[in-house]
Amino acid sequence: MKNPHFKPDRQHHRPGGFQNTYQSFQGKRWHEILRWRWQAWRAGHPRPLQDAIPVVAPDLAFIHANAQAGLAMQPAATWVGHITVLLQLGGLNLLTDPVFSERCFPVQWAGPKRQTPPGLTLQQLPHIDVVLLSHNHYDHMDEASLLALSRQAGGCPLILCPLGHRAWFARRGIHKVVELDWWDEHVLAATERNARIPVTLTPAQHWSARTATDALRSLWGGFAVRSPDCHLFFAGDTAYSKDFTDIRHHFAREHTPEAGGGFDLALLPIGAYEPRWFMKDQHVNPEESVQIFHDIGCKQALAVHWGCFQLTDEALDEPPRALDRALAARGMSRADFVVAAVGATHRIRPRDRLQAARP
Ligand code: ZN
Ligand code: ZN
């Protein structure tokens, strides 16, 4: 099948789909998948949890008051779990990769089951203005959650996604979709309730697949959201690559010290990385995630993509311990790279009010 978006002058475009900039992704072969599963079984992976995954009751009073605050909104990120984060910035409520289902799999009677409940239920969410969808893997693009959001009171959110997803949404009657190529910008227009917010799709080292025959057909990526009160980076699903220094260079002019510095918060994945020989070209480990923190030049990060679905060999509670070791090696701490409880709200220092306070 042809890639209808194919442009021969774009390095990551292929006639039949897309590819990474720095390291081409090769679909794993059956014998590699069997070798991984066999070795994991022999080694007794994944191990049981040593620590319970921290879960707190969401601060619904804050979240809902903030959702209505318009331009006085306090920039904040609430971790719903796994890759799903409620972002409140610039007067808008955004949701990254909404996954509220029990399992991240084509059917709900098999596949990885949730180990922690969503920090907020779909019913507890405020009205969502925008969904940022990173790619079509089942632990990121959850049909039931997207359908529920499309029917929320007040209407379907705007769905921003990489190229190659429009037809999937159209088949489900969802048309409020904007597809972006890497580095394409979509501007959320200013109203009296919200700021003007440019959103750019950024590259990632990953891949896509929904069925046995559609690998690499649709694009994947992350998002750079620049609201006057908060510049936020959402990495999506990614391995380590030079893409992150490219991202820093791309936004350098918006991130000078006079302009308020780098991203105020980065949502960076820290889980689903063992064994390395199998996962290294698709998922970062915590050490690489800390390197991305430095590469993009963010002020603070929030750990995501862990603690919910057992997708790989490391224990579900191992990523924060590995992160602590990686942070200590760089003289950093969890004050820099926040590990939140499921359901917790992380408040972000407002960027514009900081700047206004400059002498
Ligand atoms: Zn993925
Ligand atoms: Zn994932």
Measured between alpha carbons, how far is 262 from 59 in angstroms, rounded to an integer? 28
Distance 72 CA to ligand 2 centre (A): 33
Question: Structure tokens of 86?
Answer: 């409620």
What is the share, in percent, of the chain residues with pLDDT greater than 70?
Answer: 98
CATH 3.60.15.10 at 60-105+112-348, yes or no: yes
Confidence class for position 356, pLDDT limits 50, 70, 90 = low
Q: What pLDDT does residue 358 have?
A: 53
Instruction: Tell how far CA 215 is from the center of its chain.
Output: 20
Distance 311 CA to ligand 2 centre (A): 8
Q: What pLDDT does residue 110 have?
A: 80
User: With helix as H, strand as E and coil as C, how does 10-56 read?
Assistant: CCCEECCEECCCCCCCCCCCHHHHHHHHHHHHHHCCCCCCCCCCCEC
> Within a 10 A sphere around the Cβ of 171, how many other Cβ atoms?
8
Ligand 2 is an ion; its neighbours by CB within 5 Å are 139, 237
Q: What pLDDT does residue 305 have?
A: 98
What is the share, in percent, of the chain residues with pLDDT greater than 90?
Answer: 88
Indicate whether this model's pTM tops 0.85: yes
Distance 174 CA to ligand 1 centre (A): 22
- One-letter amino acid identity for 197? I
Ligand 1 is an ion; its neighbours by CB within 5 Å are 137, 237
Distance 72 CA to ligand 1 centre (A): 35
Question: What is the signed CA dihedral for 202, 239, 165, 119, rounded to 10 degrees?
Answer: -90
Distance 304 CA to ligand 2 centre (A): 10
Task: Yes or no: say if 199 and 227 are a contact pair by the CB < 8 Å rule.
Answer: no
Mean pLDDT of the chain: 95
Q: What is the chain's alpha carbon radius of gyration, rounded to the nearest angstrom? A: 19
pLDDT for residue 315 is more than 90? yes
Q: Which ligand is nearest to the CA of 308?
A: 2
Q: Where are the domains positioned within the chain? A: 60-105+112-348
